[in-house]
Amino acid sequence: MGEKRHRLYVRLHKRMPEAVPLSFPFHISLLLCKKTPDDTRSAVTFYLTNAPSKLFPVDEHYRAQWRVEQRLCNPQEDTDVLAMILVQKLSADHDIRYYEDLIAQAVEQTPLLQNVDKYDCAVWTWDILNRLHAMGAPFDTVPHIVGTTTSQLEQHMVDAAMEFAMQQQQHQMAATMAIRDDGVIDPVREGKLRKMLPGIKRRATNISVDSMETLVNHAEEGELAKKQRKRESFQQLQLSEKDFRNRVDERKPGPRKGWHDYWFHNSVGLIAPGL
């Protein structure tokens, strides 16, 4: 009946209730579409109604509801069995890895999701949650990611995992290079290094701490040199202005006249030219 195709659709919908303006609620609809030529006319529905009580703690304000639904596409084509996992109203009280583990457990219990690697799905889900958490609340823009093929999805997950690993390595390098002589980490220098490292390590993949420290030192020296040049140019400007004033004073011997002296002489000259 044709080659099997796997497509993954991820839609992130924002929902910000007025009662909890600073919380972290949103909807993640994870739809995995699998071509099943053998089940062209059949419809199989899986319900995970008992999953919230088993996987999620009882909470009056935040409750995650898991649903797996089935939907038929064009009857003339193969049946697309859609496994939809709806994560509703996640709280920011717990760590993101807490929800990562819960999502991974739900994926393991869903038969239709066995074709997706659990680790990749967990990494990708964690990356989405981390990005949303970094955006803060309320959300100005909601990401809308659509992966049409398995290769694109795998590439996205690999990029997300590499980006996360690189970010963790940069933070570790920043903390290592910010250690002072007394062994205490300088928070100001660590913050500056965290801002500088992504720009330095944008094209590089494997750089040692010593090499990175050398690059950071060069960057800091460049910034110091730039500030020194600005300071010298400003001082030179002040010196040139002072020298100009001295030259003007040298051309006119005697004490400098005020504006009232010039105004008086000019007025007298206009009234009586002979004076």
Task: Examine residue 84 and state whether it is found in any structural domain, yes or no.
Answer: yes
What is the distance between the alpha carbons of residues 169 and 177, in angstroms, rounded to a whole number? 12
In a domain, 270, yes or no: no
Output 42-49 pairs: Cβ under 8 A, ≥24 positions apart: 42/79, 43/70, 43/72, 43/79, 44/70, 44/81, 45/69, 45/70, 46/70, 46/83, 46/110, 46/111, 46/112, 48/106, 48/109, 48/110
Scanning the structure block, which residue is given the tokens 């457990």? 105
The pLDDT assigned to 1 comes to: 29
pLDDT value of position 244: 59
Residues 6+ apart with CB under 8 A from 175: 185, 190
Q: Mean pLDDT across the chain, nearest whole number? A: 47
What pLDDT shows up at residue 8?
A: 25
pLDDT at 17: 28
Type of residue found at 64? A
Consecutive H or E run containing 273: none
Report CA 11 to chain centroid distance, whole Å. Answer: 19
Query: In sequence order, which ranges of 56-109 are alpha helices (DSSP H)?
Result: 96-108
81 lies in some domain: yes
Q: Which of 162, 150, 80 is nearest to 115 (CA)?
A: 150
pLDDT at res. 192? 73
What are the tens digits of pLDDT across the range 190-235? 777 767 666 554 444 444 545 555 656 666 666 667 777 777 777 6
Q: Which one has a higher pLDDT value, 51 or 249?
A: 249
Contact 87, 100 (CB under 8 A): no
pLDDT surpasses 50 at 253: yes
Closest by CA to 98, choosing from 125, 65, 69, is: 125
pLDDT confidence band for 104 (50 / 70 / 90): low
Range of the domain at 101: 6-148
In the predicted structure, residue 59 carries a pLDDT above the cut 50: no
Q: Is residue 273 part of a domain?
A: no
Best mean pLDDT range from 23-37, 127-141, 188-202? 188-202
Q: What is the pLDDT of residue 242?
A: 62
- The whole-angstrom separation of Cα 111 and Cα 99 is 20
| pLDDT of 167 over the 60 cut | yes
**Residue 144: what pLDDT?**
31
Under DSSP, is residue 64 helix (H, G, I), strand (E, B) or coil? coil
| pLDDT average, residue stretch 12-34 | 27
Number of structural domains, the chain?
Answer: 1
CB atoms within 10 A of CB 152: 13
Residue 193's pLDDT is what? 72
Residue 210 lies in a domain: no
Of residues 148 and 204, the one with the higher pLDDT is 204
Residue 99 has φ and ψ, to the nearest 5°, of -75, -30
pLDDT score of 34: 32
pLDDT band at 187 (very low <50, low <70, confident <90, very high): confident
User: What integer pLDDT is reported at residue 243 of this predicted model?
Assistant: 64
**Does the pLDDT value for residue 67 go beyond 70?**
no
Residue 163 in any domain: the answer is no
pLDDT at 118 (0 to 100): 45
176 within some domain: no
Residue type, 112: L
Residue 254 lies in a domain: no
Q: What is the mean pLDDT of residues 140-155?
A: 37
pLDDT at residue 188, rounded to an integer: 75
